[in-house]
Amino acid sequence: MNIYPENSIILAPLSGYTDLPYRRSARRFGCKYCFTEMIDAGSLAYGNAKTTRFMERDDDEEWLGVQLVGCDHDRISKAVDILNQHNFDVLDFNLGCPVPKVAKKGAGAALGQKIDEAFKCFEIIEKLSRHPVTAKIRILDEQDPEMTLRLVNGLTEAGAQAVTIHGRVKNKFYAGPVYFDIISAAREAVDIQIIANGGITNIETYAEIRKKTGCDSVMLARGAMGNPWLFRELRDQENYIPPSAKDLCDELELHILEMIDYYGESLAMRISRKIILDYLKSRGFPGKFKAQVSFLHSGKDFSEFMKVVREGPSERYRQWLKVYPMADRKLLLI
């Protein structure tokens, strides 16, 4: 039985992003399958307050997965014991994060490259967890599927109920082509569900990854940053109507106000700056204006900033859309 129903569209665990306010935003546009932020096993095992908060689940969250990253056996064991005290639908093990602060510890994508050790860590999680256990990996070679297949097969034998595969190697981070053929080969090699991940930004890239990998379900990550409408676009397809400039402002304002309510004003404004920039990205707001985001320190600052945002994108953007009417992240300008 698959972890996810056919045609599922899943929001990836994103460190620094998929907190409770972020998930609320995604859910408003039809995302059912969400994950917490990636949780470091060591930080959780030693009671880091910030990490502990990552596990908070809203009363109306029908489905929520949690993702663990780490490579120390003892810390992983302690972390799983703690996660067992909470209610999650899936526990995912991260073997794909390429970020240096993770990889230099030997975790994430660095651990994914050490296949035998990755199996040992996964087996500890699978043995101890009361939740269904899955894994998220990256392909290990762009030309030869052998090593990736070895990793996927071993995780399957160790009890993984699904594996999400990002179709780029570790050192490519989030750029360059996605190697659909490697994901497809993995899907054909095992009986468990394979989730395709990488480069989905619109209905065209969604259709392409599904067709070329054969996977019925996908995971969104960077493409959904500042663009929760992507979930609606992939659901509605040819019936999709892009957000208006007012829709953009309303959702951005609601998202940030919910962050202020959740974190308190000072902390929320510090961590929301990247969120604000994601919403404004590629939507016709000049770089000089976006630079002001760095100086937002209070709810009042944000309110004044939003007055200008509500004036709408530049005339230049309007003209650009006439030339590129199918652009990603487009606004419906009236």
Q: What does the domain layout of the chain look like in residue ranges?
A: 9-239, 245-317
pLDDT tens digits along 23-40: 999 999 999 999 999 999
Check residue 112 and give its pLDDT: 97
pLDDT at 206 over 80: yes
Check residue 312 and give its pLDDT: 94
Q: What is the CATH number of domain 245-317?
A: 1.10.1200
Tell which CATH architecture fits domain 9-239.
Alpha-Beta Barrel (3.20)
Helix, coil or strand: residue 25: helix
Alpha-carbon distances of 187 from 119, 135, 208, rounded to whole Å: 19, 14, 16
One fold for both 9-239 and 245-317? Answer: no
Question: Is the distance from CB of 88 to CB of 66 less than 8 angstroms?
Answer: yes
Residue 181, beta-bridge partner list? none
pLDDT at 223 over 80: yes
pLDDT at 334 over 80: no
- Cα–chain-centroid distance for residue 129? 23
pLDDT tens digits along 109-160: 999 999 999 999 999 999 999 999 999 999 999 999 999 999 999 999 999 9
pLDDT tens digits along 45-62: 998 888 999 999 999 999
Cα–Cα distance measured from residue 71 to residue 120, given in angstroms and rounded to the nearest whole number: 9
Angle at 10 between CA 228 and CA 232, to 5 degrees: 35
pLDDT tens digits along 270-279: 999 999 999 9
Instruction: With cut-offs at 50, 70 and 90, classify the pLDDT of residue 173.
Output: confident
112, containing H or E segment? helix 109-113
**pTM of the entire structure?**
0.95
Cα–Cα distance measured from residue 163 to residue 34, given in angstroms and rounded to the nearest whole number: 16
Question: Is the distance from CB of 135 to CB of 93 less than 8 angstroms?
Answer: yes
